[in-house]
Amino acid sequence: MQAMTKAREIEREDEVMLDHDYDGIKELDNVLPPWWTAGFIITILIGAFYYFNVFFNSEKYNQYKEYETEVADAKAEVDAYKAANPELFKTDVTLLTDAVSLEAGKKVFGTFCVACHMADGGGGIGPNLTDDKWILGGGMEKIYHTISEGGRSGKGMISWKTTLSAQQMQQVASYVITLQGTTAANPKAAEGDIVWTKQ
């Protein structure tokens, strides 16, 4: 180790002492440690290897092709996940009218929606769901979209797509439509400029 580092004993430090002096602080011209020198040489070799492959061997090491391959692999993984979990990515938002779906929607409504819309849909913090005035539009697609993406910014209606499945959102949207035209116990005044009445 001493042969590689050419280290000097303290008594012989004057042999590697440099001439300059900074406020009484002097510097020794010691040989760089072997690990540092080896690391420096390896870094140069890696740089040369990288340079050669990027500029002279681009058919094999092509960043654009690598990116395209990774994007294709990621898309394949996403498609496989969607295929394995179809309910999470359901895009059919047609109105459900069967009793089982509406009962499931009523249960979801009772768990997540009553705090703002009341159990009978008459409205509280949130708007009345029993009249024909809609802030963001009525109808299956618009109601589903409001549940999924949330209401107006700063108005409290959050996006439920991370909490509810696509099927649950379809069920609760269908149930909300059944409330339209019913009589609430203490209905909130109508809000919104969009008039929609279920057919």
- Quote the strand ranges of 56-197, DSSP E: 133-134, 194-195
What SS3 class is residue 18?
A: strand
Which neighbouring-strand residues pair with 194? Answer: 134
Give dist(CA 70, CA 73) in Å, integer. Answer: 5
Q: What is the pLDDT of residue 2?
A: 65
Q: Tell me the residue ranges of DSSP E strands in the chain.
A: 17-22, 25-28, 133-134, 194-195
Give the global pTM: 0.57
What pLDDT score does 55 carry?
A: 80
pLDDT tens for the chain, 199 residues: list them. Answer: 666 666 777 777 777 788 888 888 888 777 788 888 899 999 999 999 988 887 887 677 777 888 999 999 999 999 898 888 776 666 668 899 999 999 999 999 999 999 999 999 999 999 999 999 999 999 998 999 999 999 888 777 899 989 999 889 999 999 999 999 999 999 999 998 899 887 6
Nearest to 151 by CA among 186, 191, 187, 93: 191
The Cα 5–Cα 47 span in angstroms is 26
Q: What is the largest CA-CA distance in the chain?
A: 101
Comparing C-alpha atoms, which of 114, 133, 132 is closest to residue 124?
114
138-194 residue pLDDT tens: 999 899 999 999 988 877 789 998 999 988 999 999 999 999 999 999 999 999 889
